[in-house]
Chains A and B, each alone.
Chain A
Amino acid sequence: MSPQNILLLLTIAEQALTTVAAVRAALAKASAEGRDVTDEEVAQVMSGMREHADALVREFGR
């Protein structure tokens, strides 16, 4: 595996840990408040996902 691949994997792994921590925090907050994750919270994450996926497709898609 080339250094580029290793660097890419480390970068994505770092991003994954950050994401997991953020999701855990969101779930913990909802749990502490005795409720489920709200539709609005899910929609907000969906919106971010769509925004970045769109940017990827727009800039680099075929």
Chain B
Amino acid sequence: MESNSTTKHPSRRIRCANFFAIAAVWLLATTSLVRAASFTASLDRDTISLGETATLSLTFEDGQPRNLPALDVAGLQFSQTGNQTGFNLVNGAMSSTVTITFSVAPTRTGEFQIPALTADVNGRQLSSQPLKLTVTQPGAATAAQINSGNEIAFAKLILPKKEIYDSETIIADLQLFYRQGTQLARQPQLAGMPADGFTVGKIAGENQTLTQVGNAVFNVIPAKIALTANRTGAVKVGPVTINLSLLLPSNNRQSDQFFDPFGMFSHREQKDLAIATETLAAKSLPLPAENVPANFNGAIGDFSMTVNAGPTNVTVGDPITVHVQISGRGNFDAVKLPDQSGWNDFKLFSPTQKTDFSDQLGLEGTKTFEQIVTPQNADVRALPAFSFSFFNPDDGKYHTLTQPAVPLVVKAAGASPMPTLAATQNSAPENQTPTDILPIKNELGTLAKNSAPLISQPVFLTAQTLPILAFLAAFVWRKRADNLANNPRLRRRIAVEKLVQTGITDLKKFAAENNSEDFFATLFRLLQEQLGEKLDCPATAITENVVEENSLLRGVSENLRNDLREQFQLCNQARYAPIRGTAELNSVAAQFEKTVGELQNLKA
């Protein structure tokens, strides 16, 4: 049974009448100054069903509210749906009305009290009277109400039979009727489907039809619901409740004549309804206890079975895949692969399963099991016959489907190439297969950290460069020695350089000792050696004259030649006047060191 809940549907005239609204507000403002304002609150009805909505109207006469009162009632949800302004001119007296509407949606059943509301109107605090709203559970329409044709919408739930078996799945028909000429504002919502003793499965919608009930024609939205009995005894389902929003032709055309005098625009009102079906009862019977097949494991329905297996030519231990397809109609959740007796010669792996449904309710289709088995010995000749049992609720009997045995050719494992590591064992008599593992060891042994192999450790890799470096050093040394042995001038140059270095040290020592004789003797010899090496002639052949005669020395700077001359002359003079001071000898040694440096840098 439906209940009334009407709200004004927005229409285009509101948008078209802005001008009139502005004028109305002006009039309201002017008239409110001269008349006493009032504030009232009202509900369009005081009893609704859960799922429906009521309309709360707050009406302000001859005044404009400055603020809206707060609406807060536990169990009720308020949402503003409209704001209308009107004015009347009666016998020259003008009055105005402001009406603000709210949709009131309950969230539970019970009696609710909307308290007195207070609003500030033209500077005065005005209060409304308290309101009472009763919310009830929606109820099913009676046959008389339906046949009267006065109902806008109703619903029916139909069970195919009143006696079912435990775990049997049946299909219930749910039909939603709504009057022709009305329109669905939105898709119907299934609000509740209590079921005691049933498990509600999938729901499948069907195509909408038209039917006549009594004197009225109704649109029918049918749906099918899968229900599975989950216990024995009395079971029931319902009431199924549906929330429905319909657009009804508007009965209020008085104001429309003003805004739409020619009826050019459609006028509909939205109505929210809560529809409920009857509660249906049935009896769930236990499965027969007689003639129960040994391998029955709970499948209920009507099924067929196909079995195939492959490969059929295998070696002991090789996998054979057994495909079992069970097709038909019934409760596929309860269809399981039965334990097979007589499969002792096979190792069974956990089966996999997949179900393909051919209907929307999941009652028809094919369930495929894939079972891998491996023969354990070469005596196996066939895959044993496979059987599957189910209970058919249509005839109330158990049925067993059996597929014949599948012939197999099973070869011994030794007949195929032995790939195991054990094949490399020594089969000598003294090494025949032991009967048990060797016992544990008493010593822990040397513990070591689980480290990376040496070849991936940088220290080890770096250490391998040391012998290469040693070899390279020896090689370079060897090459240098060979070069020296094959070059006399280089050898003499190196020898003279060493001689000059030690000679300069001796000169400084002789200078410090004021040993003029040895000083100048050493100086003369060093000059001879250095010039002899540079001019590539015997040291004994070098005299002061070489400075003037040798072409190489003639090309050097005059300063160097003067230094050489001076040092030769000093040496000659020292033979006749050997005694000189330490400071003078040190000065000569420094000058010699400078001269030798220039000579060594001289290009031959």
Q: Do A and B bind each other?
A: no
Query: Interface residues, chain B, CB within 8 Å of chain A?
Result: none
A contacts, CB < 8 Å to B:
none
